Structure 1
Amino acid sequence: MQDAGTGRRELTVVRQERSLGAAEDLDLALELLARAKTGRIGPTLRLYRPAPTVAFGQRDTRLPGFEAAAQACRDRGFEPLVRKAGGRAAAYHQGTLVVDHIEPHADAIAGSKTRFGFFGELLAEALRSAGVEAAVGEIPGEYCPGEYSVHGTDRANPAHQVKLVGTAQRVVSGGWLFSSVIVVEDSAPIRGVLTDSYAALGLEWDPATAGAANDLVPGLDVRTVEDALLSTYAGYASLRFADFSGYAGLDIGKA
């Protein structure tokens, strides 16, 4: 969709001020994808701060320690869920920003790999504009490792790098969902729940790679990062803001 006045792509931005619940938030993303693939909504960007959640990958469920890992999450106040996209377990809470970008697309599979690179660079650019020394690329020992993870570097100690953004994609006939989790505040609970759950799963990783943007830039908060992200998006699309109440009544969980 293009803005009739400028010819630029138009993107509807929905700021969800409160979590609907861990499972409900994930289900809404799938419902939006279902609507996009049938043309009921156009390109949409949904932003929200989630309830404490550990989203396991499909491979994690096949490991003998999965049930123990799920219980370890509950013991730390995180709800364990299994997502339909992505790799290994990732943790998030209200100190993180979830970014769901949903678009209808006639040939969604064709650009799937390109999207990882594009969004990785976009997210790194947004973090840099907020003062973080950010770059795209997997760092040794990171949780839920990925080629297009976004990491940050401690300027005072360049050897210390932390994973700040994990991304996942779901592609269906007629549309795609690209979901990113930016860890901005309060990294300790995330590090703790990942340490316990990865130990139960028998997966090796380096807990020092789990951090938050404000570990590197003290005082940085989610709203500042959210504003920086939208400013970055505005460089390539015309943003149209919509009230979340128009989306809250969607039928959840039928994608």
Structure 2
Amino acid sequence: MLLDQQQYRIIDQTNTGLHMSALHSFAMDDTLCQSVGSGESPSVMRSWVHEKTVVLGIQDTRLPFLREGLAYLHDEGYNVIVRNSGGLAVVLDEGVLNVTLIYSERDRGIDINRGYDAMLAFLADTFSANNVNMQAGEVVGSYCPGSYDISIQGKKFAGTSQRRLRGGVAVQVYLCLQGSGAKRAELVREFYRRALNGQETKFVYPNIKPETMASLSELTGNSMPTQDVMLNMFRVLKSYSHADIYIDSLQGNEWAMFEKNLMRITERNEKALML
């Protein structure tokens, strides 16, 4: 089982991430992917939270009236970045917990479904006390739809993605823990409405229906504080690890790698959002 590892290194940025651009998080995941893939680091779990940010996919930057869509998001108080992994627009804020599990492919390959299945099992174990039946499968009408959307009773509360880099595999999930899933979906729906402005495009952007999305607090009736969820995740990781889990930060040459990765993704963003 992929989740069973000799050791887990935990990098928790649920507090510090609030004071950083989300670009830092994608540069951080790339850095850790390289370290894990090269064998310099054991498997990693990284957690992060950012203030109001809409993370676009590359396809979103090709919207015909992108400038108008971006102006709307900025007026609503959101920062905007373009990520370096696949997918379409998603919303981050203080009620959204992001988690990345990073593994090495050096000894044997990790196919894409195995990575997603590991994340789904990890979340099911994390929230097992809530007696919820999570399902994986595309939720039509949600933002950033995909075959590994995670939902309860047809309402999506989490989305997954993967990034592979130099022998490392990062399986990423955003978890809407608190707040209104429908309001986040309304924000993205209005972004697409303005950025498309009725124009037909070769690429089919999602027809977002806010009622298809919810937060875990809405779905379970529990408040779902981020730190409580993190403690559950630590306990679950401990049960998977044959050795130990430990909290850490970047070490040694990882800082230089991080600076390079941050510069690279920042330059890409400047080009992608050059209007």
TM-score w.r.t. the length of structure 1 is 0.83
Pair 1:242-2:236 in alignment: no
- Displacement, 1:199? 1.9
Q: Does the C-alpha gap of structure 1 residues 150 and 127 become closer, same or farther in structure 2, counting only changes over 3 Å?
A: farther
Specify the code of the residue in structure 2 equivalent to 1:106.
R
Q: Percent identical across equivalent pairs? A: 22
Structure 1 counterpart of 2:215, from 207, 212, 215: 212
Q: Find the partner of 1:171 among 153, 156, 164.
A: 164
In structure 1, list runs of 5 or more residues that go unmatched: 1-6, 154-160
> Whole-Å Cα distance in 2 between the matches of residues 179 and 8 of structure 1?
18
Q: Match of 1:10, as an amino acid?
A: Q
Deviation at 1:253, TM superposition (A): 4.4
In structure 2, the residue corresponding to 1:59 is in which secondary structure? Answer: helix
Q: Residues 43 and 246 from structure 1, CA distance in 2 versus in 1: closer, same or farther, beyond 3 angstroms?
A: same
Does 2:204 align with 1:200? no
Write out per-residue CA displacement over residues 185-226 of structure 1, whole angstroms, 9 at most, x where no aligned residue. 112652342222232344312111222111122322222222
Show the 5 A alignment for 1:153-192.
153=153, 161-187=154-180, 190-192=184-186
Report the secondary structure of 1:220's partner residue.
coil
Of 227, 230, 236 in structure 2, the residue corresponding to residue 226 of structure 1 is: 230
**Structure-2 residue corresponding to 1:15:** 12
Does residue 50 of the first structure (1) align with residue 50 of the second (2)? Answer: yes
3-state SS of paired residue (1:148): coil
For the Cα contact (< 8 Å) 1:108–1:174, is it kept in 2?
Answer: no
- Indicate how the Cα distance of structure 1 residues 253 and 195 shifts in structure 2: closer, same or farther if over 3 A, else same: farther
Instruction: Check 1:129–1:66 CA distance in 2 against 1; reply closer, same or farther (3 A cut).
Output: farther
Distance in 2, matches of 1:110 and 1:126, equals 22
CA RMSD of aligned residues (A): 2.5
Between Structure 1 and Structure 2, the one with more strand by share is 1
2:202 is matched with which residue? none
Cα separation, 1, equivalents of 2:233 and 2:56: 26
What TM-score do the two structures reach when normalised by structure 2? 0.77
Counterpart-to-counterpart distance in 2, 1:253 and 1:30 = 11
Contact 1:86 1:167 in 2 (8 A): no
Distance 1:253 1:146 in 2: 31
Shift of 1:146: 1.0
**Alignment partners' CA distance in 2, 1:125 and 1:110:** 21
Q: Look up the match of 1:156.
A: none
**C-alpha distance in 2 between matches for 1:84 and 1:245:** 20
Change (3 A) 1:199 1:245: same
Separation (CA, whole Å) in 1 of partners of 2:115 and 2:21:
28
Cα distance per residue 1:123-182 (max 9 Å; x no partner): 2342343444422222231111111111123xxxxxxx3211111111123211111111
Counterpart mapping for 1:20-39 below 5 A: 20-39=20-39
Which residue identity is paired with 1:186?
Answer: G
Higher helix share: 2
Q: Indicate conservation of the 8 Å contact 1:100/1:177, yes or no.
A: yes
